[in-house]
Structure 1
């Protein structure tokens, strides 16, 4: 009888898993990863070879850097909220004719429609940073879909941008499941190969700090992650661009080829 009861329990669990799918009970492929990388030194490519998640990144076509045979840089910003510096950054990008991708949240869309429209009008891409900035490994497939769809739909209403190709997972937390779900929705997950601690608005150290941190990590094919809430970044933006060009780099949008 004990054996029969055990079999019945197993059958019940299997039935529940079949009924609710991975949206209710996450499978083993939902182990969370926190993106990290080995920084570039002296122009050598940044790497993720020692981080443990490279096979998953490669399998799902996620980006952390691009072609390392060409001196091209890809500038990206995370915009979760506005701190008064995005307009200054946009001024510099316009003056220097540099494109970027701005990854935005629902809060940013709702609170800053004029800046959002300006981004699109001036030739920048707007990417998805989720509606409410959750850890996506802790929410269901349906919730992920809703988070991303809300951003895409609202951005189209505000700016007219119909396509949304790129996603930056909040806090750089991801899993095989979240990469699979978002890829099925048409997204390429975008991580980074140049970054520094720039998001703490209480620990800003002046434009030269940002300049040194960014320029010391430049390498061919680099995807730069910066936060537009940083006064340091706003102050250093022009100098960073000028230095990069002096070193033979050019800036392109993530969707540009050739």
Structure 2
């Protein structure tokens, strides 16, 4: 069953749930998200014994993993529609490759079946904020609300514990914003290269250009950023580029690894 099929079957149940919880779609938080957002500054609610980022992933934005091994990580942001998700998951499954997905909270609330399908496939779910604002334009309390609300939405949609990895909207970071998400228990996982596939043909991108941008960034610990969803255009270049990027990585002797390999037990985190 595809993500789209699951979404359709979930629609009536989702409407009923919305009526019970006061869900307002993309216009606002769910009741659980709002409760988390109202809790104020401090660490987001997480399992105390769960794995945490090590000190090597804190204190700065991470654009390359701290390793000399010939490994790289594949990551996907999700903020629009479900276009391309089935194709990406099928390709990762066929090749038995891990990836980390960074949905927004709004996406998780609007497309819970998609988020659940990612978790069910065994991939990690990071945090890409609730509503995708520029964090440079927010204060600490607003940043906290964005991170916490996204965590609650992703947790509710997926049924699993989200990873303590945060990716900034627009990759707009500063020492202050990184410190804020670190204080909430998250490592700021950015990227070595964005394929720019999300721009689509109208933005001058092609599958070949997306692959070239990824391959040019190959290095030990490289983090490749891609996107699922088409923002209404119906074309997901990164879904088409994924097999070629994977072929190039393996041909060049790279292992595609799971970002979760870099987490440590809570007692060892700092």
TM interval, shorter chain, is 0.7 to 0.9
CA separation of 1:190 and 1:204: change in aligned 2, threshold 3 A: same
Structure 1 contact 198–204 (Cα < 8 Å) conserved: no
Structure 1 contact 75–223 (Cα < 8 Å) conserved: yes
Structure 2 contact 72–220 (Cα < 8 Å) conserved: yes
Give, in angstroms, the shift of residue 166 of structure 1: 0.5
Residue 72 (structure 2) pairs with residue 73 (structure 1): yes
What pairs up with 1:208-247 in 2 under 5 angstroms? Answer: 208-229=208-229, 231-247=236-252
Match of 2:51 in 1: none
Match of 1:121 in 2: 120
Deviations 1:62-93 (A, max 9, x none): 31101352110111111111251121111111
Residue 103 (structure 2) pairs with residue 98 (structure 1): no
Please give the root-mean-square deviation of Cα atoms over the aligned residues, in Å.
2.2
Structure 2 contact 195–211 (Cα < 8 Å) conserved: no
Give, in angstroms, the shift of residue 226 of structure 1: 1.1
Match of 2:175 in 1: 176
How many correspondences in the alignment? 203
Give, in angstroms, the shift of residue 213 of structure 1: 2.5
Q: In the aligned structure 2, how far is the partner of 1:207 from the partner of 1:61?
A: 32
Give, in angstroms, the shift of residue 225 of structure 1: 0.9
Give, in angstroms, the shift of residue 200 of structure 1: 1.6
SS at structure 2 position matched to 1:149: helix
Match of 1:144 in 2: 143
CA separation of 1:58 and 1:244: change in aligned 2, threshold 3 A: closer
Q: In the aligned structure 2, how far is the partner of 1:255 from the partner of 1:244?
A: 19
Give, in angstroms, the shift of residue 61 of structure 1: 4.2
SS at structure 1 position matched to 2:73: strand
Q: In the aligned structure 2, how far is the partner of 1:205 from the partner of 1:173?
A: 22
CA separation of 1:180 and 1:67: change in aligned 2, threshold 3 A: closer
